[in-house]
Structure 1
Amino acid sequence: MSGSSSEPVAGTLRALVALARESEREMALRLGLNLTDYRALCALAEFGPLTSGRLAEELGYTAATTTAITKRLELRGYVSRERSETDRRLVTLSASPEASQRILDLTLPLVSALSEKLHAFPAEQITAVVAFLEVTQDLMRTHLQMLSTKDAT
C-alpha cells in the first residue's frame, strides 16, 4: 500500500477515529460515567425515549446488560422511566433534561467551531466532504455487520 494516493486519507481517518474515541472517553469522565453508560445515555438523548429492548438493539447489548446500565443511570438521575398510559406493560426510558443539556454543553463547542470552519469552504467542497463521510459511514456499518456476523458464528 506504500505510495498509494489513499494513504493520507486513511491515516487522517484513523487519527480522526482515535480522537473521537478519546473525546468520548473524556466526556464520559466529565459526566462521571464509564464509556458503556455514556454511550447508552447519548443514545437516549439522541433517539429517546426508547424501550429497554430498543436501547439494547441500538447499542448491541444484551437485555441484562441494558437493564444494569439503565439502573446505574437512573441512580445518577440521568435517566427516567415512564410507563405507557395505554399499555402499562410498556416502559420507555428517557435521558433527563439535565443530562441532555450536559451532553450538549460538552459537544457544542466542537460542533460550533466545525460549523464555523465549514462555512469558509466553497459549497462544492462541503458537498464532497459530506459525500465522503456518508460513504465512510456506510462502509463502516457494513464492516461492523461483517465483524458481528463473524463473531456470531
Structure 2
Amino acid sequence: MDENQAVLANVDETTFAVRGVIEASRDLMARMAKSVEMNANDLTAIAILNHHGPMGPVELGRRLGISGPSATTLVDRMEEAGYLARVRSDTDRRRVAVTVTDSAREIAAAVWRPPIEKLDAVSRTLSAAESAVVRDFLARITEAMNEGREIS
C-alpha cells in the first residue's frame, strides 16, 4: 500500500460524505447547465457574479479556475448571448467589470429554485441545535477548501 492509499484508508467517513456532496454538486451543476443549453462554466459564472457581484474578467476566470484568455472568451460568448454585460468604471475608464443581465438572473433563478427548495426541505428537518452544528461544520469545511486560494 503506497502512502496515498494509506492516507485514504484512514480518512473519516464524514470526509467521504463531504466528497459525495462535492461530486453531487458538480453533477447537479452540469445537469442544470444542460437544461438551459449552457455549459457548466457559463452557469457557474452567472452564479459567481450573482453571489459576489460585478468583478473583472481576470478575477472571474480565477474563481472559475480558467486562464485569463479563456475567461475573456467566456465573457465574450456570454455577452453576445445576452447573459453578461461589461460595465466601465466611473472612476477609471480603463477598468471593466462583468455583471449579469436580467435575462441571466431569470435563468439562474429558474434552474436553482428546484434544488434549493429540496435542500431547504432537508435543512428544515434539523433541530435548531443540529442546524447550528451543521452550519459550523460546513463553514469550517468551506474554509479548509478555500485555503491557499488566491483571489484578488
2:41 aligned to which of 36, 39, 43: 36
TM-score scaled to structure 1, two decimals? 0.79
Give unpaired runs (5+ residues) of structure 1.
149-153
Corresponding residue number in structure 2 for 1:13: 18
**Which amino acid in the other structure matches residue 134 of structure 1?**
A
Query: How many residues are aligned here?
Result: 144
Alignment map for 1:4-83 (pairs within 5 Å) = 6-7=12-13, 9-83=14-88
**3-state secondary structure, aligned to 1:80:** strand
Match of 2:135 in 1: 130
Residues 1:120 and 2:129 aligned together: no
Structure 2 gaps, min length 5: 1-5
TM-superposed CA distance for 1:3, in Å, is 9.6
Q: What CA distance in whole angstroms lies between the structure 2 residues aligned with 1:59 and 1:5?
A: 28
User: What displacement does 1:126 show?
Assistant: 0.5
2:105 to 91, 100, 106: 100
User: What is aligned with 1:87?
Assistant: 92
TM-score relative to the length of structure 2:
0.80
CA change 1:40–1:3 in 2 (3 A) is closer
Residues in 2 aligned to 1:74 and 1:104: alpha-carbon distance in whole angstroms: 19
Cα displacement (A) at 1:138: 1.9
Deviation at 1:5, TM superposition (A): 9.1
Distance 2:82 2:53 in 1: 16
Aligned-residue RMSD, C-alpha: 2.5
Q: Matched residue of 2:87: which SS?
A: strand
Distance in 1, Cα, partners of 2:132 & 2:111: 27
Q: Is the 8 A contact 2:41 2:64 kept in 1?
A: no
**Aligned residues with identical type, % of pairs:** 24
